[in-house]
Chain A
Amino acid sequence: MTATAAAASKGRSTGLLSLFTLGAMPSKAVRGGLQVASLLVPLLLWTTIASLGLVDEKFLPSPQAVFRSLASMAESGILFQDIVASTGRVFGGFLLATLLAVPIGICMGVYPAICALCEPLIAMLRYMPAAAFIPLLIIYLGIGEEPKIALIFLGTIYFNILMVMDAVKFVPIELIETTLTLGGRSRQVLVQVVARYSLPSIIDTLRINIATSWNLVVVAELVAAEVGLGKRIQLAQRFFRTDQIFAELIVLGLIGFAIDMGFRLLLRQSCKWAV
C-alpha cells in the first residue's frame, strides 16, 4: 500500500515520465494539448524546412504554395468535382459491400454450417489483392464507374464479412436462448437480438474498413478516370505540380478523417448503451 503510494507520488514528481506510467491517465487538458501537437508539430517542421529552402521546392512545396493551389482548385470547381466523384465511388462500393456483408457475416457467425460453407472461400478471396482484379474488371465492365465501384466492393466485402462474423460471436449465448424461451423465432432472434447486440462492433468494423476503400478509389482512378482525387494526383504528376499533389493528399486525409468522425458520432448516437 505504502509502496504503491510512494511509487505514485514518485511518478507524479517526475512530470513528463509519469505520462508513460502504465495505466496512467493524463488530464483532459494534457491529452488535448498532445492531440493538437500531433498535427501542429509536423506542420511546423514542414514550414521550417520549406522556408529554409533545405529541399528543392519542386520536391517539397511550401505550405503556402499548397494552400494557394488548393484555393485555386476550389475556386475553379475542380476540387468539388473531384471530391464528389471520389466519395461517390467510395460510398457506392462500400455501401454495396456493407449491404451484403452484414447479413452474410451475421449468418456465418450464428450458423456454424453456413460458416463452414463460406469461410474457406472467403479466407482465400481475401488474400487476392483487389487491385489485381482491375484488368478483369475493365474487361468485364468497361472503363466507366462500374469497375471502380466493383473494385471498392471487392476490396472491402471480405473483410467486412469476416469482421461482422467475429463481432456476432461475442453475442452471449444466454441472450439468444433467453429470446428463444420468450417465444422468439429465428428471424426475430437474428434481427432484434444478434444484429442489435453487435451493432456497435459492426459500426466500428465499417469505420475501420472504409479506410481501405479510400486506398482503392485512388488506385482505380489512376487506371481510368476523367475526374477524381486520384486522377488529379496523376495529372499533377505529369506537370510536376507537387503542390497540387500535396493539396489533394491533404484533402484525401481530411475527408477520411471526417468519415471516421462521422462513424464515431453514429456509434455514440445509436448505441449509447455501449459507449
Chain B
Amino acid sequence: MELIVENLSKRFGEKLILDHLSFSMHSGDFMALVGSSGSGKSTILRLIAGLDQPSSGSITVDGTPVSGPGPDRGMVFQKYSLYPWLNAAENVAFGMRLQRMKAAQIKERTAYFLEVVGLSDAATKLPRELSGGMQQRVAIARALATNPSILLLDEPFGALDLQIRESMQDFLLKLWQRTGLTVLLITHDVEEALVLAQRVHVLAPNPGRIIRSLDIDLDKTNLDQLRLSSAFLSMRRSLSATMRELEPALCLVKPC
C-alpha cells in the first residue's frame, strides 16, 4: 500500500484551509499529524477518506486517485461513531454486512476483532453500556474488520479522560506492533503523537501547512518509562515550543 498526498490544497469559499500539503505513507507506517485548531488537520483526514474533495492537488492510494469514501480507508471519529441500536458485536459486523460478506465469515471475523480489541466479554452490550474507551475500541475493531489498507484516526481519544487516554494509547501501539497496520493519526496532543507515531508532522494554522517533520526513533517497549525518559521529554518540549510559537500572542511573556 502506498498513500501519496501531493500539493494538496483545500478552500472553503474564499478561505484557504490547506496550503500545498505533501507527504506519503507506506504499508506498516504509523504517522501522526499534530496541529492546533484551525490547522485543517481534520480536513486532511476527510479528504483522504473521500468525504470531501480537494480544491487542488492529488491523493492516490496505490496509484489510484481517491474519488469517494470506501472501506479500503477505515476511519474512526472522535465520538458518535457507534450505531446505538446495535450491540458491540453487531457494530463490528456492520461494515462486513454492508459489503455482503458471508455470514459465517462475518461471525468469525467479528469474534476475532472483538478479541483483538479485548472486548469479547462485552459482545452483547449496547454502546450506552460501554465506557468511552470501550466504545472507541469497538469503533476501531469495526473499521479493522472490513480489512482496510489504512486506518484513519481523527482524534480518537480526544473525548476520553487522561488515564483512559493513556491506556488507549498503549492499546493502539500494541495493536499496531502486533498487526502491522498502517495508521494515520490526527491529534492536537504532542505527547500522543510522540508516543505512538514513527513520524510526526507539525501543522501550522491559517492556512494549514506542514512546518516541521521529524522521525521518532525511541524505544517503545515500555510506554510508562518512555513518557518519563529524557529523550522523550526533550522531544516533547521542542515540539510543544514549535506549536506555541504558532499561536498568536496569548501571553505577553515569552516562554523560556
Task: Name A's B-contacting residues (CB within 8 A).
Answer: 172, 174-175, 177-185, 188, 192-193, 196-197, 199, 271, 273-274
Contact = CB atoms under 8 A, between A and B. Distances in A.
B73 interface: yes
Contacts of A182: 71, 74, 94-95, 98, 142-143, 146
B84 A273 contact: yes
16 contacts: A174-B81, A175-B80, A177-B49, A177-B51, A177-B69, A177-B77, A179-B94, A180-B69, A181-B73, A181-B74, A183-B69, A183-B71, A183-B99, A192-B98, A271-B85, A273-B84
B79 interface: yes
A181 B80 contact: no
Contact of A181 (B49, B78, B99, B128): B49
Interface of B: 49-51, 68-71, 73-75, 77-81, 83-85, 94-95, 98-99, 126, 128, 139, 142-143, 146, 152
Contact of B98 (A172, A175, A188, A271): A188
A181 B95 CA distance: 9
Given A183-B146, A273-B126, A178 B85 contact: no
B85 A184 contact: no
Contacts of A185: 98
A262 to B, nearest CB: 21
Contacts of A192: 98
A18 B142 CA distance: 49
A183 B98 CA distance: 7
Contact of A274 (B49, B71, B85, B139): B85
A264 B84 CA distance: 20
Instruction: Identify whether the interface residues of B are mostly helix, strand, loop, or mixed.
Output: loop
Contacts, number: 69
Nearest to B129: A273
Instruction: Identify whether the interface residues of A are mostly helix, strand, loop, or mixed.
Output: helix
Nearest to A271: B85
Given A179-B98, A181-B70, A197 B84 contact: yes
Contacts of A175: 80-81, 83
B27 to A, nearest CB: 19
Contacts of B69: 177, 180-181, 183
Nearest to A178: B81
Contacts of B68: 180
A273 B146 contact: no
Contacts of B98: 179, 182-185, 188, 192
Contacts of A178: 75, 77, 81, 139
A45 to B, nearest CB: 45
